[in-house]
Structure 1
Amino acid sequence: MEKVNLDQLNTFALVVRQGSFSAAGDLLGLTQPAVSLQIRQLEQRLQVRLLERVAKRVRPTSAGEVLLEHIARINTAVDNALGAMADHAQEIAGVITVGTGATACIHLLPSLLRELKQNYPRLNIGVRTGNTDNMVKAVEENRLDIALVTLPASGRNVQLTPLLQDEFVAIFPADGTNVPVEFTPQGLGALPWVAFEAGSSTRRLIDSWFLSAGVKPMPVMELGSIEAIKEMVAAGLGYSIIPRMALTDLRGRSLTPVLERTLAIALRQDKPLNRALQKVIAGLNGLKQLP
């Protein structure tokens, strides 16, 4: 009897996740007909229909839903086998994919990644950036090996381990214009605010800080890049509130009351901890010692 093809199983899972054959093909580097052929061959092998189209999106059938649960367990078993083999290797080697927010990617990870590359030349670390919800989801679905996220967060079968505290500070143009006497919600609320884009975990924390004092400021602009925010502040277009780790040439003022975020490691509870992943986790834990 012909064995089930692992590539076909993972292609099926990706089609479900993306909601279309063409979107899955773009990620896999395959044409839409090639993706369709893999799904058709899998359905013929299993003798069931796995997908159906609902409101212009591809959805799994009831059989497809059951298969998805098995695929997650199959991938875990494969990871366990690969991890067991890696434990027998003399060198730390392999590919580890880390997810994080853009701020931590720019200001926290470079030195860690440089040190790991110097110590373990055969260890390849890929980095993906995104918001906390997407990072946790990717860890849950085994598309990321590990992620650095902002609490609060939650995910099925995902363990979240607090790593370090990062204070938020207010930044103003270097010429000192529009600097309030107190860096409180009331003192800042009426000033032009260059804010993070709505929906991000950072923006939710800052909004909560204002709302706890009954203040609801209206941003003059909302940007997704912290570097763009800093440029707008430097140009005199307003103030902003950013993580202290992102400070460079702008002076940061502590807020009253203090506003902090907790960065945490997100890892699947059943993730095999091969030697390569253990080194990455140890490196992240070493960030606790940073000033």
Structure 2
Amino acid sequence: MDPRHLRAFLHIVETGSFSAAAERVNLTQPALSRQIHLLEDEAGEILLRRTGRGAEPTEAGLVLVEHARAILEAIDGARRAMGVRRSQVTGRVTVGLPPSVGVRLTAPLVRRFREHHPLVGLCLVEELSGVVQEGLLSGWIDVGLLYAQAASPALAQEALLTEDLALIGRPDQMPGGSDCVPVRALAELPILLPGRRHGLRALVDQAAFRHGIVVRVDIEADSLRVLGELAHAGLGLVVHAPSAFAPDLAAGTLVARPLGEPPLQRAIVLAWPRDRAPSRAALAMAETVRELLKTGGWPTPQP
């Protein structure tokens, strides 16, 4: 049955008049009458009876009234549902995060993104910043977080936050004093750092060059977990953002001292390829990252 004919039928039942119904739907009475004739032909029943006061449904018409309302409500519901779906973001997005960022951001980011965009397929890549950058440039990562000092100019970048770096280790392994540790001290202390593909390593090497020293890197480890375990074992001191070791610092098993005066810092940026327009899913992920940081989703313990 044509929904237009059902609506015309219900308008007549509700108003009790062909003329009033025709005025309501902005049709001529003959046009409205044709719709009712077509509906009656399809139903095989007389649905409306004309009276001196207007029109009223027949017994068959009364049966159709409830069905017609249910049919039209279902059609309207389907249209609303499709409209909501069109307004929602769909597709798939791959987001890349360095481990020191992922350890703090992954769970709250995924939770918030899934709450707002349940129809988007999500792929998380936790890799060294160099690998994340390669993925962005080659196209298999849509949006990523990187350290600004190591980000390629071929990537569009949006500054998110800046963190002070610190020297982190066991209390009995830290150099004497309670003030900040000078960058020059990195030439003498047993330092634990990731390899040279890591954005943090590039930042530390640049700072060492500016101070005319070579950092004494006793052990390289491309794993935040391994760096933490080595520091716990007393095998060296980690240069990192304190937020990456927040539970250990809170427990007192590791301590942090500010590094450099003014403090050595790293900037974290949101990045995506300049030569590709981001998808709606990638834009939604970028906006979720911004919202999360604005609402305190990034722990920042002080050294």
Tell me if TM exceeds 0.5: yes
2:122 matched to which residue of 1? Answer: 125
CA contact (8 A) 2:89 2:119 kept: yes
Equivalent in the alignment of 2:289: 284
CA distance in 2, matches of 1:137, 1:233: 30
Residue 252 of structure 1 aligns with which residue? 256
Deviations 1:136-174 (A, max 9, x none): 332233211111111132253x31222211221111214
CA-to-partner distance for each residue in 1:35-82, whole Å, 9 max, x for gaps?
A: xxxxxxxxxxxxxxxxxxxxxxxxxxxxxxxxxxxxxxxxxxxxxxxx
Instruction: Tell me the distance in 1 between the aligned counterparts of 2:88 and 2:161.
Output: 30
Looking at structure 1, the residues matched to 168 and 236 of structure 2 have their Cα atoms a distance apart, in angstroms, of 9
- Secondary structure in structure 2 of the residue aligned to 1:286: helix
Is 2:211 the counterpart of 1:213? yes
Cα RMSD between the aligned structures?
A: 2.4
Question: 2:134 corresponds to which letter in structure 1?
Answer: K
Superposed counterparts of 1:143-182, under 5 Å: 143-152=140-149, 153-156=151-154, 158-174=155-171, 176-181=172-177, 182=180
The partner residue of 2:272 within 257, 262, 267 is 267
**Secondary structure of 1:89's match?**
helix
Mapped partners of 2:174, 2:159: distance in 1: 36
Residue 193 of structure 1 corresponds to which residue in structure 2? 191
Structure 1 residues 212 and 287: CA distance shift in structure 2, 3 A: farther
Structure 1: segments with no counterpart, 5+ residues:
1-85
TM-score under structure 1 normalisation? 0.63
Residue number in structure 2 paired with 1:20: none
Q: Deviations over 1:87-141 (max 9, x none)?
A: 9724332211011211111122321111111333222221113333432332233
Gap change, CA 1:238 and 1:98, over 3 Å in 2: same
TM-score between the two structures when normalised by the length of structure 2: 0.61
Higher mean C-alpha deviation, range 195-204 or range 98-107: 195-204
- Structure (1 or 2) with the greater helix fraction: 2
Q: 1:199 to 1:140 in 2, by over 3 A?
A: closer
Q: Matches of 1:273 and 1:207 in 2, distance apart? A: 33
Distance 2:84 2:201 in 1: 42
Over 4 Å off, 4+ runs: none
Q: Is the 8 Å Cα contact of residues 87 and 275 (structure 1) preserved in structure 2?
A: no
Equivalent pairs, count: 204
Please give the alpha-carbon distance, in whole angstroms, between the structure 1 residues aligned to 2:183 and 2:233. 23
Larger Rg: 2
1:114 equivalent in structure 2: 111
Equivalents in 2 of 1:186, 1:145: separation in Å?
A: 39
